[in-house]
């Protein structure tokens, strides 16, 4: 299985970080040169998916998609049934190497396995399948942001390439939004084996988040207004109804934890 790391030419310090991380867990990786939005301002002119009508993607977000597409092309052409993709700001669990060394633990029906956590509430199926080494997998039933670490099948890589051949979409929306990934079998690894450094050490801030916040501030979307009481009551009732529905369908609301970064005795 190929382990691919997306890295911009202007970010050698992030490549050094990933080299240390992979050395720590005892497996190798292959660098994939990321597409730099600053060098391709024309990307913003590409057609975007309708879900981005309210807030169009920035040039860097479209460049991020193209960076992932470069990885999908490699996986689609590889002989291995699965490949793993990582962005260059990830921090790994001390036991990550045990899973990234092979794919024998991956369920036969898996199209995608989300390896990271974004520490936001999501919904998974309560029934879990063991992945060994203290990890398990459950079907992902709600969107879970982030595309910093995931595994996908060769067939799915080809499908994603086809889906984004003519239109741009946020990478994590394509993969982990249930509406967009309908028909795909998506698993969540529990606990996660990686997370962005911004959630762990805070030494590598997200490059995309910085540009998103700047764009939202410029457009006024960062100015939040207090919702009317009726709207807040309706929203809370909706949350309660969804919790009851999830419980009846044997689903669990969860903030996916990350496996310990440092080895424990």
- Summarize pLDDT for 84-135 with one digit per residue, the tens: 999 999 999 999 999 999 999 999 999 999 999 999 999 999 999 999 999 9
Q: Is residue 65 part of a domain?
A: yes
What phi and psi values does residue 195 have, to the nearest 5 degrees? -155, 160
Span 51-75, average pLDDT? 96
Name the helix (H) or strand (E) containing 195.
strand 194-196
What is the end-to-end Cα distance of the chain in Å, rounded? 30
Q: Is residue 192 part of a domain?
A: yes
Q: Is residue 31 part of a domain?
A: yes
Overall number of domains in the chain: 1
pTM assigned to the model: 0.85
Q: Is residue 261 part of a domain?
A: no
Span 155-178, average pLDDT? 96
Residue linked to tokens 């396995």: 113
CA distance 103 to 60: 32
Which pLDDT belongs to residue 247? 52
pLDDT tens sequence across 180-190: 888 999 999 99
Q: Is residue 265 part of a domain?
A: no
CA distance 68 to 87: 9
Residue linked to tokens 């890589």: 157
Residue linked to tokens 């490549």: 15
Q: Is residue 8 part of a domain?
A: yes
Q: Is residue 262 part of a domain?
A: no
Q: Which two three-digit tokens encode residue 186?
A: 């998506």
CA distance 258 to 244: 27
Q: Is residue 264 part of a domain?
A: no
Q: Which residues, 6 or more positions from 49, have their beta carbon under 8 angstroms from its beta carbon?
A: 167, 168, 169, 173
Q: Helix (H, G, I), strand (E, B), or coil: what is residue 34?
A: coil
pLDDT tens sequence across 206-256: 766 555 555 444 545 444 555 565 544 555 545 555 545 555 666 899 999
Residue 20 lies in domain: 2-255
CA 191 to chain centre: 15
Domain with residue 208: its CATH number is 3.90.550
């Amino acid at each position: 299985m190929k382990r691919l790391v997306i890295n911009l030419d202007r970010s050698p310090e992030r490549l050094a970080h990933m080299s240390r991380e992979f050395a720590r867990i005892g497996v190798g990786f292959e660098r994939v040169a990321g597409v730099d939005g600053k060098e391709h301002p024309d990307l913003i002119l590409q057609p975007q998916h309708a879900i981005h009508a309210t807030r169009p993607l920035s040039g860097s977000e479209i460049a991020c998609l193209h960076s992932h597409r470069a990885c999908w092309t490699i996986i689609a052409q590889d002989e291995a049934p699965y490949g793993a993709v990582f962005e260059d700001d990830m921090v790994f669990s001390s036991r990550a190497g045990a899973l990234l060394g092979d794919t024998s633990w991956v369920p036969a029906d898996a199209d995608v396995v989300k390896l990271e956590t974004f520490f936001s509430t999501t919904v998974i199926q309560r029934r879990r399948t063991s992945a060994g080494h203290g990890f398990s997998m459950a079907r992902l039933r709600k969107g879970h942001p982030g595309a910093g670490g995931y595994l996908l099948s060769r067939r799915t890589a080809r499908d994603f390439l086809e889906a984004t051949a003519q239109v741009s979409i946020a990478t994590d929306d394509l993969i982990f939004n249930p509406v967009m990934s309908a028909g795909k079998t998506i698993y969540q690894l529990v606990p996660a084996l990686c997370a962005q450094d911004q959630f762990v050490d805070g030494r590598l801030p997200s490059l995309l988040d910085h540009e998103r916040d700047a764009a939202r501030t410029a457009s006024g979307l960062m100015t939040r207004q207090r919702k009317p009481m009726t709207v807040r009551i309706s929203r809370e009732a909706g949350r309660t109804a969804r919790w009851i529905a999830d419980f009846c369908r044997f689903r669990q609301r969860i903030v996916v934890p990350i496996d310990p970064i440092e080895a424990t005795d």
